[in-house]
Structure formats: C-alpha cells, structure tokens
Amino acid sequence: MSLWRRELWRLALLAGLGLLVGWPLGYAAPGLALGLALCLGYHLHQLRTLHRWLTHDSQSEPPAAAGLWGDLLDRLYRYQKGQRITQRRLLGILKRIQESSEAMRDSVVMLDRHGDMEWWNSAAESMLGLQAAHDRGHHITNLIRDPRFVDYFHRRDYREPLTLPSPIDERMMLQFQITLYGDDERLVMARDITRLHRLEEMRRDFVANVSHELRTPLTVLAGYLETYATYADQLPSRFARGLDRMQEQTTRMQNLVNDLLLLSRLETDRGGADHAPLAMPPLLESVRRDAEALSAGRQTIGVEVEEAVGLTGSEQEIRSALSNLAFNAVRYTPEGSHIMLRWAAHPEGACLEVADDGEGIDPVHIPRLTERFYRVDKGRSAATGGTGLGLAIVKHVLLRHDARLEIDSRPRQGATFRCIFPEARLAPVAATPPTETAGDGS
C-alpha cells in the first residue's frame, strides 16, 4: 500500500472513530470534528519537527517518523547530503582554479556584465596595481584609463590583442586580451611582453639602420653599372650578359631596401599629419596606368567607382597600398587575365578592392600572406621580381587608417583583396558619377 493511501486511511479512521464516539451521545458532528482535529494535530506536530530540524540541525540525522513524513524527511536528508557533496566538490574545483590562476604569470581579471571587477589574481596586482581593499566592484576603465584601452573595451571586437604600457610602470609593456563568456561577462588577461617588445624594437632599428646604410653603396653601384651600360656594345657578349644581370639584381636590391625603409617608417611613425580627404577616382586611374605599364599588355586592367564618397587618409600611403595590390595582381596572374580596381560601398563603410580572375590562392596560405617575405611559390615569386614585403606594407597602411584587409580566393577562381575602411574614415567630395574604365592592353 502506498504512503498516500496510508495517510488517507489514517484520516478516515480518525474521522470514523470521532463520528462513532459522538453518534450515540447525539454529538456526531463534534465527534467528527474531534477526529479531524486529532489528524490535523498530528500533521502540525510533524511539520513543527521538520521545521526545527531544518532550521537548527539539518546536518544531523533526521528525526524519526513513520509513514509519509518519515519518507519526506529521509528524502530531504538525502537531497541535502547530495547538495553538500556537490558544494564541497565545486568549492574544491573553485579553489584549484584560483590556485592555478594565482600560479600564472599573466594577469587575470574577472568582470561582471557591467564591466565591474569581481576577482583577480596576484599578478594583476603587480602588473595593473589593483588592490582588493579598494578596487573590487569598480569599473575596469576607472583603473586602466588609457583611451586606447577604453576604446578597445567598448568596441567589443576582441579578435586582436591590444599592446599598452602598464598603468603603474610605463617601462613594462602589456598585451591585453579580452574574452566574452557567460551572461555578457568578460575575462581580461594581460601578459608582460616587455622583453619581446624590446627585441621587436631592436629588430626594427636594425633593419632600418642596415637598409639605410645599404642605400649609399647600392646607389653608387647602380650609377657605375648605368655608366658601363652605355658602353655595352663595346664589351664582349659574355660581359654584356653579366652587366644586364648585375643591373637587374641591383634594381631588385634597391626596391627591397626602399620597401624595408617604408615598412620601418610605417611601424615606428604614428602618422596622421598628412591625412586629408582624397578623391578616389583619380587615384585609382593613376594606379591603373602604373599597373598597365608594368603589365605591358599582358593583362586587361580596369577601374570601377561605385561609391561617390572619398576617403580621409594619406594619399601617399593609400597609393602605396593600392599599388602593391595591383602590381601583385599583374605579377601573379597569367597573360590574358582581367584585373579590376574597385572603390565600392561596404556594410562597414567602404572598400577598396583589387580583383582578378587568375589562378587564385589556396586558402591554407591566406592567414600568412601579410607576413614579411612569405611566398606561396618561392621559385615563381623570385622570378617576378617582388620583394615579399608588399602585403606587409598594405597591412600596416591599413592599420594606420583604422582599416583591415580581407582576402577572398580559391584555386582557379581568382582572388579579391579587399581593404575595408570604417564609416568614420569616409569623407564627402565633389559628386562623381560611377565610372568603369578598362585599359586597352597597350
């Protein structure tokens, strides 16, 4: 018999006894009420026992009881025991997480959904100057007030880390990375990259100094070779061939040095002094003519202007980025290909595109294309005369213009290099109707 049936039988028995006792005396209703009162009193007593156990000594064995109340007390005790085991396990896991975070050399700061600091490890105290007695519950931007960090925090685009000096020691360089999790909460991690930053500065200085020192001997060498070239018809044929090769390699070295110096300047100089509204159609047309001269009729090169607005930036740097993309398209697409330079609208603002219908690029190479000297096909790239720095220059130019490079390509399906500029970089210019021009291949 189930426990509920037993309770119902107990209720019926007490009510029947009260009715049986009161009926002969003419008090049937009071007798029934007395039986029900006894049943209610029993349940109130068990409820009081349950309340005292839960409020005073719930961790001890439950009080003895029969029937439904005994089963209820046993179930509550087993549930509480399971909850205590789970709580101890979670506390142990949390303690191990905190201990492991304390052992980390990187700073870890946990933020709630509003950006207020809830917890951090000891490394955060030494790197960021956080103090548990004063800073807990404060917004992260009240402690790290650098405008670049504030903008990075509120932009919510955390795909790339942010490098800044420590708020308590400018000699210490930190790399910040924010991760979203849970209910719009954030985890801020900061790594000390002072040594790497100094090594990078040394590398940039070394490259810049060596490139600068190479300019003079290369200029002298190129000048003498040009002089000798005027008398090439008087030299033996084998000397003439060697002279041509020497001129070719000297020109290549000069291009490499120029690209290294440009890249070094882009990395060290913040720029912005020469930024002004640019009209894009003349710029694209000028680059198209330069690309046609390099192509020598091997490809068809066109221009499309689909966006009437201009761009705020450095004309020299934007021209350099666009020229690198266009010249790469000329160098790496086969004869008879079509290359299009395009200025078009984009959901984020506007984009500058260089598209071709050449052989395309395997997607496995795309993440590394902007690395210095990275080549998809080293033998073929060397034969084209490129320096291997073009896309690295493009990347740094775009970073200086708050833009990003997007590459879309598949083997045998061509390639599109898309420079995406934010809406804040667009500038009104004189109305220019959409145009489409193509070279005649000459």
* Domains, the chain, ordered by start: 3-96 (no CATH), 104-192 (3.30.450.20), 196-268 (1.10.287.130), 276-438 (3.30.565.10)
Q: What is the model's pLDDT at position 35?
A: 67
Picking from 48-57, 107-116, 169-178, which range would have the lowest pLDDT averaged per residue?
48-57
User: How far is the C-alpha of 334 from the C-alpha of 332, rounded, in Å?
Assistant: 7
Residue 433, pLDDT above cutoff 60: no
Residue 306, pLDDT above cutoff 60: yes
With H, G, I as helix, E, B as strand and everything else as coil, classify residue 130.
Answer: coil
Condensed to tens digits (0 to 9), the pLDDT of residues 331-374 reads: 888 888 999 999 999 898 999 999 998 888 888 888 888 888 77
Long-range contacts of 433-437 (CB under 8 A, 24+ apart): 433/308, 434/304, 434/305, 434/306, 434/308, 435/281, 435/303, 435/304, 435/305, 436/302, 436/303, 436/304, 436/305, 437/285, 437/288, 437/302, 437/303
- 222 or 419, which is more confident? 419
With H, G, I as helix, E, B as strand and everything else as coil, classify residue 163.
Answer: strand
Q: Taking a C-beta distance cutoff of 8 angstroms, is the pair 432, 309 a contact?
A: no
Condensed to tens digits (0 to 9), the pLDDT of residues 103-149 reads: 678 888 989 989 999 888 888 888 888 887 788 889 999 889 899 99
DSSP string spanning 51-70?
HHHHHH-TTSPPPP--HHHH
Q: Which amino acid is at 259?
A: D
Closest by CA to 69, choosing from 46, 52, 38, 53, is 46
Q: Which amino acid is at 38?
A: L
The backbone torsions φ and ψ at residue 112, rounded to the nearest 5 degrees and listed phi first, read -85, -175
Mean per-residue pLDDT of the chain: 81
Q: What is the model's pLDDT at position 244?
A: 79
Q: Taking a C-beta distance cutoff of 8 angstroms, is the pair 218, 253 a contact?
A: yes
pTM of the prediction? 0.59
Angle between helices 280-295 and 315-332 (to 10 degrees): 30
Residue 429, pLDDT above cutoff 80: no
Residue 377 CA: distances (Å) to CA of 90, 223, 331: 54, 32, 12
Q: Taking a C-beta distance cutoff of 8 angstroms, is the pair 143, 159 a contact?
A: no
